[in-house]
Amino acid sequence: MRIALDGVSVRFGPRTVLDAVSVELTERRIGVIGANGSGKSTFARLLNGLVLPSAGTVRVGADDTARDARRIRRRVGFVFQNPDNQIVLPLVEEDLAFGLRNTGVPRKEIPGRVREQLADLGIAALAGRPSHALSGGEKQLVALAAVLVMRPETVVFDEPTTLLDLRNRNRLRAVIAALPQQAVVLTHDLGLLDGFDRVLVLDAGRIAYDGPPRTAVPWYVAHHS
């Protein structure tokens, strides 16, 4: 998938949060790092139209996020930092089925799709569990399953490992590595970027460095410590 930002600025009132950013995202594994408040979440939210540019355009394939929001939400899945914002229904399997029902997947196919997705992430046993009673790591994986079951072409992750213990962090790392889709991952967890194709470093609303993790991570550490 090709996502192209062309001269994109985002302003909230008098504040410019992203400043004339132009970048094309075509690689399979793209990391986005930067200090608190540098604009990472805003950048991520632009990619599926959750935030619209104040100036410039964001294109996902041939679609423009300002015009084709519904189609883009299906093509670009978004995994929120806090899974509580994403999990809406009382039972895990209902939560995964919810999105599918709304997009016209034939009803008889839904339970199979849900089971298959949970099994893919190694959490088949959670299907009948109440969502509110899951641990933080389980919730994170269920939120990811709810995005993947919709079969998006690209998955954007907003700080996916913040709530996770070491074991679940490693598990999520492996899940991201194995995803067939393009993934754009915002993170403060620099180890997560091993093996990525490209890392963007944001600083005060601009892309301050753009390169492979091998050079981008040391650049970031040298400039932000």
**Min CB(41)–ligand ATP separation in Å:** 3
Q: Which two tokens stand for residue 88?
A: 């809406």
34 binds ligand ATP (CB under 6 A): yes
Q: Which is nearer to ligand ATP, 9 or 153 (CB)?
A: 9
> Residue 180 burial (CB < 10 Å; 0-12/13-18/19+)?
exposed
**Min CB(40)–ligand ATP separation in Å:** 3
Contact 38, 205 (CB under 8 A): yes
Q: Out of 41, 48, 65, 182, name the contact with ligand ATP by CB under 6 A.
A: 41
Residue position matching structure tokens 């967890």: 189
Q: Alpha-carbon distance 81 to 77, whole Å?
A: 13
**Min CB(218)–ligand ATP separation in Å:** 20
Q: Which is nearer to ligand ATP, 44 or 110 (CB)?
A: 44
31 binds ligand ATP (CB under 6 A): no
**Min CB(39)–ligand ATP separation in Å:** 4
48 binds ligand ATP (CB under 6 A): no
**Min CB(30)–ligand ATP separation in Å:** 15
12 binds ligand ATP (CB under 6 A): yes
Q: Out of 39, 49, 83, 160, name the contact with ligand ATP by CB under 6 A.
A: 39
Contact 4, 24 (CB under 8 A): yes
* DSSP letter for each residue of 155-198: EEEESTTTT--HHHHHHHHHHHHH-SSEEEEE-S-GGGGTT-SE
Q: Which is nearer to ligand ATP, 11 or 115 (CB)?
A: 11
37 binds ligand ATP (CB under 6 A): yes
Q: Which is nearer to ligand ATP, 38 or 86 (CB)?
A: 38
End-to-end CA separation in angstroms for the chain: 34
Number of residues lying near ligand ATP (CB under 6 A): 11
Q: Alpha-carbon distance 27 to 195, whole Å?
A: 12
Residue 13: Cβ within 10 Å count = 5
Contacting positions for ligand ATP (CB under 6 A): 12, 15, 17, 34, 36-42
